Every structure is written in structure tokens, then in C-alpha cells.
Amino acid sequence: MSGSDPTRRLLLGGALTGAATGLAACDKLAASPQVNERLNLAEGMNFHVQRLLLGRNALAREYPESAIAPDFRANGTTNPDSEDYQAHVADGFKAWRLEIGGLVERPLSLSLDELRQAPARSQVTRHDCVEGWSSIAKWKGATLGPLLDRAGVKPQAKYVAFFCADTLELTLDGTGDYYETIDLADAHHPQTILAYEMNNQPLPVAHGAPIRLRLERQLGYKMAKYVMRIELIDSFAKLGQGKGGYWEDRGYQWYAGI
């Protein structure tokens, strides 16, 4: 054993130098577009494997009302400061209308009251934030699938885009406006609703008044708040920076089921 002491020192020294070089190289690797393209292959695998395992309609767990959390956090924008939005808040969203357009046979324009009369669903579900925390709340809203059927989705439509009243980043070209896209399978999931109530109260401004999307089998950033307009589209390449959502444009995954 005594003879291997210098070797030991050499090995240790080598390991430490290697680690230091490795750390510096890591950030270079992490910023490389080629590397990121390879890493993105995993997102495709996550999407396809999870779709295969889940099927279209497996439901997210629902809880009794007693499980509702008293400390549900509001993330992202908690009060959009645009004049238009503040005017809606001031008159209790009486003049607000939800537009459903794009690749549909019959574009819809619905007031909040009309939306409340549409087929609805209540659900007590868990909200998982991409940051890592979870919370439980009760949501009530119009099921998205029947609304889309009413508008008549054209065969070439592939995605549903949600355009929101909140601007998280001020830009000249509007790429800082919040938007999200989901595919038609998720749009027709029975738990996918346009929620106008949270915990038996009208949806508070901090949580996306007058409506927010609930997409129960994915992470919170997919569930757009302050939805103003819905469009059926065949591709999201021309929206924002082309990645399918505000956070996706900033590096988050489009598929957020994991």
C-alpha cells in the first residue's frame, strides 16, 4: 500500500483539476444550441411515452373540498396594469368578451354570463408549479371541448392558442405578452376548463380574472391566466418567438406533463 501514495496524490490532483475544468466547460456546453437540440429529444420522448401511458382521458386526481389549501400562491402577473384590463376590473368584467376564432367554422364572442351558462365542470385539483411547489384549490369553469365543438374546429387546426391580458416583459413587438398553446387532445380532455370560479368565489384578479385555463395534467405555466382571446391554429411557429408560449420562448418545455 505504501508504494501507491504518489499515485494517490496524482489521482486526487487529477480529479480536482478535471472537476474545475469540467465546471467551466459545463456552462459552455449548456449554452450550445447543438447540445440543447439533443437534450430536447427527451421532451419528445416524455410527450409520446406519457401520452401512450395515459391515453387521452386519464383524469388528474380530484380531492375532497376539505383538502383545499388556505395558502394557494399566485405566480407570474398578479394584476395586469394595462388600461384595458383595469377598465374591465373596474366594471366587473361586464363589457369583457371572450373571442374564440381562428380556424373555426363559427367564431364565438361570449360574455362572462354567457360563458357561465355553457356546460361547466367543478373540480378540486392539485396545482403543480414548475418551481416545485403544489397547492390544492377548487375550480369551476366552462369545459373547453364543447365550446370548441360549438365553434366548429376546422380539420386543419392542430393547436389552441390562448392570448392573455398580462405582459410579463415590456417589449416593442409584443413578444412579452403572455400566451400559451395546447394541442387538441388536451383541449378536449374532460378536466380542461376555462375557470371563472376559484374556491366557490369569482376568480380573483391575482389568479387570472375573469378566466384562466385549467389543464390538470401539466404544470402551472401552461394554465394561462387573464385569457382574452382563443384561436385555433395549425402551427405556433409565427406566435411570439415561435416556441408555443411565453415561458417556452424563454426556455421552458412546451410539453409540461413532467
Partner 1 sequence: MTEVRERTSKGVTAIYRHPLLVRATHWVNALCLLVLLLSGLQILNAHPAFYWGEVSHFDRPFAAIEATTAANGDLKGQLTVAGARLDTTGVLGASKSGGDQLQARAFPSWATLPGYLDLGAGRRWHFAFAWVLVINGLIYLGFALGTGRTRAMLKPTREELRGLGRSVLDHLRLRFAHGEEARDYNILQKLAYLAVIFGLLPLMLLTGLVMSPAMYARLPVLADLFGGRQSARTIHFLVASGLVSFFVVHVAMVIAAGPVNEMRSILTGWFVIRREKP
Report d(CA 165, CA 227) in Å as an integer: 7
Give least dist CB 213 to partner 1, A.
14
Query: Within positions 50 to 79, which residues make up the interface with partner 1, using CB under 8 A?
Result: 50, 53-54, 58-61, 67, 69, 71, 73
| Among 153, 128, 132, 123, residue whose Cα is nearest residue 63 | 123
**Options 34-42, 80-88, 144-152, 164-172: segment touching partner 1 (CB under 8 A):** 34-42
185 touches partner 1 by CB under 8 A: no
Report d(CA 54, CA 185) in Å as an integer: 12
Residue 5 burial (C-beta neighbours within 10 Å; 0-12, 13-18, 19+):
exposed
* Contacts for 124 with CB less than 8 Å, ≥ 6 apart: 62, 63, 64, 65, 67, 68, 136, 137, 138, 139
235 touches partner 1 by CB under 8 A: no
| Among 228, 231, 201, 218, residue whose Cα is nearest residue 115 | 228
Closer to partner 1 by Cβ: residue 8 or 154: 8
Give least dist CB 183 to partner 1, A.
13
Helix axes 33-54, 5-31, angle to 10 degrees: 80
**Options 28-36, 90-98, 206-214, 229-237: segment touching partner 1 (CB under 8 A):** 28-36
Give least dist CB 205 to partner 1, A.
20
List residues near partner 1 by CB under 8 A: 1, 4, 7-8, 11-12, 23, 26-27, 30-31, 36, 38-43, 45-46, 50, 53-54, 58-61, 67, 69, 71, 73, 126, 128-136, 216-219, 247, 250-253, 256-258
